[in-house]
Chains A and B, each alone.
Chain A
Amino acid sequence: MKVLDKKNAEKFLETLGSEHKVIVPLLSSGDINFGDPDSRSQALDYKGITHYSAKGFFFPEGEALLTFELPGRGEAGTVAIKDHVNDTKTVIWGIRPCDLNGLKVLDAVFLSEPVDPYYQARRKSTLLIALNCNQAGKNCFCLSLDAGPCAHEGFDLGLTDLGDEFLVEIGSEAGKKLIEKHSEFFRDATEAEEAKARELEEKSRDSFSSSLDAAKLRAKLPTADNSPVWEEQVTKCKVCGTCCFVCPTCHCFNIEDLKKSKKVAQRMRYWDSCQLSGFTQMAGHNSRPNQADRWRQKVLHKFLYLPHKYEGLIGCVGCGRCVDHCQAGIKIVEVLGRVADES
C-alpha cells in the first residue's frame, strides 16, 4: 500500500486536472456536493457524504442522447441524427463506499445486454478514487447491506484518512498506473500506517446508530402486500420523488424530445421517480394509481425484484440519503424495520 500526504493531495489533483476532468466533494453552507475543484473557494470535504450520490456523473439528471436535424417543411432530404456519447476522461475523488456499491447496481442495469452506450462510455473513461468513512453519519446503515463503511474493491484507488495523510489501496491496473505516473506524490506505507487504517475501520464499524435487517425484510416482503405500513406512509409522503433522485441506485428514466428550433430537436433522457403519479400514466389509464402501491413498488423493486434479476444484488446500499433528504421526514429505514418485524 501507498501513502499520500494531504499536502500533496491537492497538488496530485491539480496534476490530474491537466489530463482529466476532476470531480471532488466540496462543502458549501453545510451541504456537500461533488464539483469542480477549480471553480470554488470551498474546502475539500473529507467528512460526511455528498447530498447527491455520484450516479449523476455516469447517468446524468438530464442529458441529450441524440440530436435530430430535420429537413424543412416541403424540402426533400432525410433526418440527420447525431449521438452524444461522452467519453471525457474524468477522475472522481472522494467517492464513498456506498456510492461505489450503488455503481454495481447501475452497472447491472446499464451494462447488461443491450448495453447502454452513454453509461458505458462514461464508466470506462472515469477513474474512481474512493474515500473510506471513518465515522458513520446518523442515518447511514451501509454496514447492514455490506456496502460500507470501507471498501476494498470496486475502485481504482481507495483512500483511508489517517489524519495528516491518506493510506492508498490499489484497486485496479489503472490505479496502479496512476500511482506509477505520479510517483513523486506517493511513498510506501509503513506497517504502523496499515495497522492504523485497520483500527479506524473497526472503529467506524462500531459507529453506526442506524441499521436494517435486510435478510429479515426480504423474507417478509413477499407476504407484506397488505401491511398497514404502505397506507400509513401515504398520509405523510409529499410525492416529491426526492428519495429516488438522491438514491445511488435508482435508475428509472424518461425519454423526451426537446425542440431547439424549427429544424433541430434533441432527444433527452431525464431521471424519473416511481413515486410520481405520472410514472405509470398511459393515454387513458394509470396502471399504478395509488400512492401506497407506488411506495410498496419502490421497496419491492429494491429488495426483491432487482435481486431476482441481477443475482442477489440489492437496490439499496444504506447511504441513508432518502432519510436525510425526505421532505416529509419519513424515516424510511425505521419503516422498513417495522415491515421486517411485523408478525
Chain B
Amino acid sequence: MNHNIYFPQIAIIKRVKDEAEGIKRFSLEFEDAKLRESFSHRAGQFIELTVFGVGEAPISITSSPADKGFIEICVVNVGEVTAALHLKKEGELVGLRGPYGNGFPFDNVKGRDILFVGGGIGLAPLRPLIKQMFADRDSFRKMTILYGARTPGLLCFRDDLAAWAAQKDSIVLVTVDTPDEGWQGNVGVVTSLLPKVEIETQRTTAFVCGPPIMIHFVIHDLVARGFAEDAIITSMERRMECGLGKCGHCSIGTAEVCADGPVFSYGQLKELKESV
C-alpha cells in the first residue's frame, strides 16, 4: 500500500439510490479486500472523495461505524465533483482518502438525553451517530430527532426516520419550509419544531447539523432555552482541499476544520473567530 498521504484508495460504486431531489446515496466498497476489512471510522468523520479526472471533495460518511465492508455517502449535486459523481453508475470506480476529522463525542454523552436537529443534507453526518446510539440504546435516555428540509422532495433518509420513530422512548418530528399538495406534516423552519418537544435542558446534549443559517438560529434558540454552550455540538462546513490540516482553506481562527473539527461545541466555536 502506498503511504503517500495524498494517495486515494480505489473503491467500487456498489449501489446508487435516488435519496431525494438532486440527492443520491452511494454505497462504496474498497477494491482492496484487506482495506475493506480494516477501514473503520467514527460517526461525524468524512472522506475526501475522488472522481478521477474531475477532482476531490470532502463528503461526510453517512453509514454507521458498525457497518463493515462498505461506506455510504449521501451527496447533493451542487458542485463540479458532486455533479460528476451523480453521473456515475454502479460498478464504476472512485477514489477515497480518509477518514478525516475528529467525529462526534459518544462515550462522554452516555446517560444523557439526546436532541438531534438536522436540516436538509445535514442529516447525513448525524445519521451514523443516531444509528450508533440506537444500537446502544440503553446507554442513552430520551432521543429526540427534529428534521427539516425546504420541500418534501428534499427530505432524506425517510425509511430511517420512520424506523427511529418506532424505537422506544424516541420522538421524531419532521417539517418542511414549503409544503406540496400531498404534505400533511409540519410546515415551518426546523426551529419551529423546538417548542413542540419537551426538553430538559440540563440533561440534554444537542447535535446540530445543517446549512450555516440554520445552525445559527438553532444555536440561538437552544442557548435561549438554557442549554450550556458545551452541550451544543455541531459539525462545521468549510471549503477544504487537503483534509490534512495543511492547505489553509478551512482555517477558522486557530483551528483547521478538517483536522481539529469538523465537530465543535458551541463553547469552542465562540472562541474561534468567524465561526458562527
Please tell me if the beta carbons of A78 and B31 are within 8 angstroms of each other in the complex: yes
B225 beta carbon closer than 8 Å to chain A: no
A283 beta carbon closer than 8 Å to chain B: yes
> In the assembled complex, which residues on chain A have CB atoms less than 8 Å from the CB atom of B106?
none
Q: A225 to B272: give the CA distance in the assembly, Å.
A: 12
A330 beta carbon closer than 8 Å to chain B: no
Tell me the residues in window 1-53 of chain B with beta carbons closer than 8 Å to chain A beta carbons.
Answer: 2-8, 10, 31, 50, 52-53
Instruction: List the B residue with the shortest CB-CB distance to A115.
Output: B5
Please tell me if the beta carbons of A287 and B10 are within 8 angstroms of each other in the complex: no
Given contacts A253-B248, A255-B247, A274-B248, contact A78 B55 (CB under 8 A): no
Please tell me if the beta carbons of B238 and A265 are within 8 angstroms of each other in the complex: no
Please tell me if the beta carbons of A287 and B239 are within 8 angstroms of each other in the complex: yes
Instruction: List the A residue with the shortest CB-CB distance to B2.
Output: A83
Per-residue contact bits, chain A 35-58, to B (CB 8 Å; 1 contact, 0 not): 000000000000000000000000
A163 beta carbon closer than 8 Å to chain B: no
List 5 tightest A-B contacts by C-beta distance, closest first: A252-B248, A265-B53, A283-B78, A283-B79, A257-B55
> In the assembled complex, which residues on chain A have CB atoms less than 8 Å from the CB atom of B78?
283-284
B244 beta carbon closer than 8 Å to chain A: yes
Q: A19 to B85: give the CA distance in the assembly, Å.
A: 47
Given contacts A257-B55, A267-B6, A288-B274, contact A280 B248 (CB under 8 A): no
Given contacts A66-B7, A114-B5, contact A309 B254 (CB under 8 A): yes
Q: A322 to B95: give the CA distance in the assembly, Å.
A: 39
Q: A280 to B82: give the CA distance in the assembly, Å.
A: 18
Residues of B within 8 A of A (CB): 2-8, 10, 31, 50, 52-56, 76, 78-79, 82, 93, 95, 211-212, 237-239, 241-242, 244, 246-249, 251-254, 273-274
A117 beta carbon closer than 8 Å to chain B: yes
Q: A228 to B76: give the CA distance in the assembly, Å.
A: 40
Tell me the residues in window 246-295 of chain A with beta carbons closer than 8 Å to chain B beta carbons.
Answer: 251-257, 259, 265, 267, 272, 274, 279-285, 287-288, 293
A12 beta carbon closer than 8 Å to chain B: no
Given contacts A225-B273, A257-B53, A293-B274, contact A251 B254 (CB under 8 A): no
Given contacts A79-B95, A115-B5, contact A255 B55 (CB under 8 A): yes
Please tell me if the beta carbons of A287 and B238 are within 8 angstroms of each other in the complex: yes
Instruction: List the B residue with the shortest CB-CB distance to A260.
Output: B53
- 12 residue pairs of the A-B complex, CB under 8 angstroms, read A79-B93, A83-B4, A83-B6, A114-B244, A253-B247, A255-B55, A255-B241, A283-B82, A284-B211, A288-B274, A301-B251, A305-B254
Q: A146 to B39: give the CA distance in the assembly, Å.
A: 46
Q: A117 to B7: give the CA distance in the assembly, Å.
A: 11
> In the assembled complex, which residues on chain B have CB atoms less than 8 Å from the CB atom of A208?
none
Interface class of chain A by DSSP: mixed
> In the assembled complex, which residues on chain A have CB atoms less than 8 Å from the CB atom of B54?
257
> In the assembled complex, which residues on chain B have CB atoms less than 8 Å from the CB atom of A225?
273
Please tell me if the beta carbons of B247 and A117 are within 8 angstroms of each other in the complex: no
A335 beta carbon closer than 8 Å to chain B: no
Interface class of chain B by DSSP: loop
Please tell me if the beta carbons of A256 and B5 are within 8 angstroms of each other in the complex: no
Extra pairs beyond A81-B8, A300-B253 (7, CB < 8 Å): A65-B6, A78-B31, A79-B10, A116-B246, A283-B76, A293-B274, A297-B251
Q: A293 to B275: give the CA distance in the assembly, Å.
A: 12
Which of A85, A259, A284 is the one whose CB lies under 8 Å from B4? A85
In the complex, how many angstroms separate the beta carbon of A265 from the nearest chain B beta carbon? Answer: 4
A198 beta carbon closer than 8 Å to chain B: no
Q: A184 to B78: give the CA distance in the assembly, Å.
A: 65
Q: A160 to B95: give the CA distance in the assembly, Å.
A: 51
Which of B2, B52, B249 is the one whose CB lies under 8 Å from A79? B52
Q: A194 to B131: give the CA distance in the assembly, Å.
A: 72
Please tell me if the beta carbons of A252 and B247 are within 8 angstroms of each other in the complex: yes
Q: A257 to B3: give the CA distance in the assembly, Å.
A: 20
Please tell me if the beta carbons of A279 and B249 are within 8 angstroms of each other in the complex: yes
Q: A206 to B211: give the CA distance in the assembly, Å.
A: 55
Chain A CB within 10 Å, residue with most, of B55, B93, B212, B239: B239
Q: A304 to B247: give the CA distance in the assembly, Å.
A: 17
A68 beta carbon closer than 8 Å to chain B: yes
A109 beta carbon closer than 8 Å to chain B: yes
> In the assembled complex, which residues on chain B have CB atoms less than 8 Å from the CB atom of A11?
none
A179 beta carbon closer than 8 Å to chain B: no
Instruction: List the A residue with the shortest CB-CB distance to B255.
Output: A305
Q: A280 to B248: give the CA distance in the assembly, Å.
A: 10
Please tell me if the beta carbons of A254 and B247 are within 8 angstroms of each other in the complex: yes
Instruction: List the B residue with the shortest CB-CB distance to A268.
Output: B55
Please tell me if the beta carbons of B212 and A285 are within 8 angstroms of each other in the complex: yes
In the complex, how many angstroms separate the beta carbon of B149 from the nearest chain A beta carbon? Answer: 15
A229 beta carbon closer than 8 Å to chain B: no
Q: A279 to B247: give the CA distance in the assembly, Å.
A: 11
